[in-house]
Structure 1
Amino acid sequence: MPTLDETVTTVLAPVFAPGSELGAELALDDVSVTTAGRRRVVRVVVDGAGDEPGDLDLDAVAAASTAVSQALDDSDVLGDLPYTLEVTSPGVDRPLTTPRHWSRSRGRLVRAVLADGSSLLLRVVSVDEAGVHGTGEPQMVKGKPPRAKDVGAPHDLAWADLVRGEVQIEFRRGDEDVDDLVAAEDDDEADEDEQ
């Protein structure tokens, strides 16, 4: 027997179907129904349709809220209990678990958690049927800058080796910082050679 989350997802799927007005801009990412006292809270997470990275159009999210509310009201999936509807976008803390999640994160800094229990910090370059392709990113270890040879190393991760990804918050983009770190390390090595 399907759960209430699955039943509500089935009711809402046509709202975000590829041929629908909203389906061109948004995709249904997740649905959860929880009980809060005498009310239910229906939380609907929408993301951009397709695999391209980018921000969500707030007007489209508002239109989705209206369409979701109408679909729920037209069905009897929630019965007579009142409900509160929350339509939101996935936060930065959403784990990357599907190829679409990874693809929409191209260009982002991601901590990839691997099946062997290890993790790797990389910038996602591309995603295909084989897996995720990226470049290694500098990681400070005990306050020491990364070695020049570790910066930008290519990484190809197969889907079978990936458990999830965790998008990392960047306060400033590291491209120029990596060059500065590599130059500083080269200068340090040159100074050591002169001594």
Structure 2
Amino acid sequence: MSVLLGDNIIEWEAVMAVRSGNEKHASTRRSAVEAELQVEAQRLRTRLQPVVEEHDLYLEDVEVKVAGSHRTVHIVVDLPEDATGSVGLDVISAISSDLSAAMDSDPEDDDRPYSLEISSPGVSRPLTEPRHWRRNVGRMVEVKPATGDTVVGRLQDVTATGIRLIPQLPVKKGMKPKLGDPLALEFSKIRKGTVQVEFAHLEDEHHENSEGAEPDDSGAEHLA
């Protein structure tokens, strides 16, 4: 055990005060940088959205990260709500050149180097907006309500205020799944929702893709 006396106590308190001040400054700086990146992401979203829409796609998200003087701009694009399948690599490749051109000709850009990453939402994407749910009608989903037990079932319908699904009831291993009565849940009462991967469904998509259809929810990514 060590004991601090007299001048040692004063010196220790001074060191702790400096350390606390440095930590607060670092935290404030991080918050300021995050706020700046959010503003930059929103500005780029406004600029790049028309380019995405020209390709008949939906601009899902724009995220900006920095490492020193280098920026990484990650753009997520998706198909319209009424479309089936997902964004293929050929579409990602086609839109990347137009997005790069829009970035390069940005009059408000500060000329810092950047990397442009373009991807489509993967199957693991959380369902956080009504359009996400509408894009996945017919799929198996896992829903965690604000209160109560987690529900797994097939998404049947999506309305302006919530969803309706057919629950899959728990059964013993090896038994055929049983379905429950239709269940309606309001968006305001859903804490989290995700799509469940179905192997049979993936096999069907592979067959469709062999006939010329796009692979579904590939999460395709392209680096420009």
Where does the alignment leave 5 or more consecutive residues of structure 1 unmatched?
A: 174-195
Higher relative contact order (CA 8 A, sep 6+): 2
Letter in 2 for 1:80: D
Answer yes or no: is 1:70 the counterpart of 2:97.
no
* More helix as a share of residues: 2
Partner Cα separation in structure 2 for residue 147 and residue 95 of structure 1 = 24
Question: For each residue in 1:40-98, what CA deviation from the matched residue of structure 2 results, as whole angstroms up to 9, or x when unmatched?
Answer: 11100000023433222433222221121111111144411111111000111210011
Where 1:54 maps in the other structure, the secondary structure is: coil
Quick check: 1:51–1:100 contact (8 Å CA) kept in 2?
no
Taking structure 1 as reference, are residues 67 and 129 closer, same or farther at Cα in structure 2, changes over 3 Å only?
same
Return the alpha-carbon distance in structure 2 between the equivalents of residues 113 and 76 of structure 1. Answer: 45
The answer to whether residue 46 in structure 2 is matched with residue 10 in structure 1 is: yes
The match for 1:84 among 91, 115, 129 is: 115
CA distance in 1, matches of 2:62, 2:163: 26
**Structure 1 segments of 4+ aligned residues over 2 angstroms from their partners:** 50-53, 57-60, 138-141, 143-148
Structure 1 CA distance, aligned partners of 2:138 and 2:87? 17
Work out whether residues 52 and 103 of structure 1, in 8 Å CA contact, stay in contact via their aligned partners in 2.
no
Quick check: 2:146–2:190 contact (8 Å CA) kept in 1? yes
1:50 aligns with 2:50: no
Per-residue CA shift, 1:3-59, capped at 9, x if unaligned? 221111111122134xxx31x2x1000110101343111100000023433222433
Pairwise CA RMSD: 2.3
Q: Could you tell me how far apart the structure 2 residues matched to 1:39 and 1:82 are?
A: 5
For 2:174 and 2:189, the matched residues in 1 are separated by 29
Rg (Cα) greater in structure: 2
Structure 1 residues 145 and 41, CA gap change in structure 2 (3 angstroms): same
Listed as ranges, the gaps of 5+ residues in structure 2 are: 1-35, 202-224
- Asked if structure 1 preserves the Cα contact closer than 8 Å seen for 2:171 and 2:177, the reply is no
Q: TM-score, normalising length from structure 2?
A: 0.66
Which sits farther off after the overlay, 122-131 or 102-111? 122-131
1:1-195 counterparts in 2 under 5 A?
3-17=39-53, 21-22=54-55, 24=56, 26-116=57-147, 118-140=149-171, 143=173, 145=175, 148=178, 151-173=179-201
Cα displacement (A) at 1:132: 1.0
Q: Hey, what's the Cα distance between the residues in 1 that align with 2:135 and 2:105?
A: 32
Aligned length: 165
- Does the CA contact (< 8 Å) of 1:139 and 1:146 recur in 2? no
Counterparts of 1:47 and 1:110 in 2: how far apart (Å)? 19
Over the matched positions of the two proteins, sequence identity in percent amounts to 36
Residue pair 2:66, 2:72 contacting (<8 A) in 1 also: yes
What's the CA shift for 1:152?
A: 4.2
TM superposition score normalised by structure 1 = 0.74
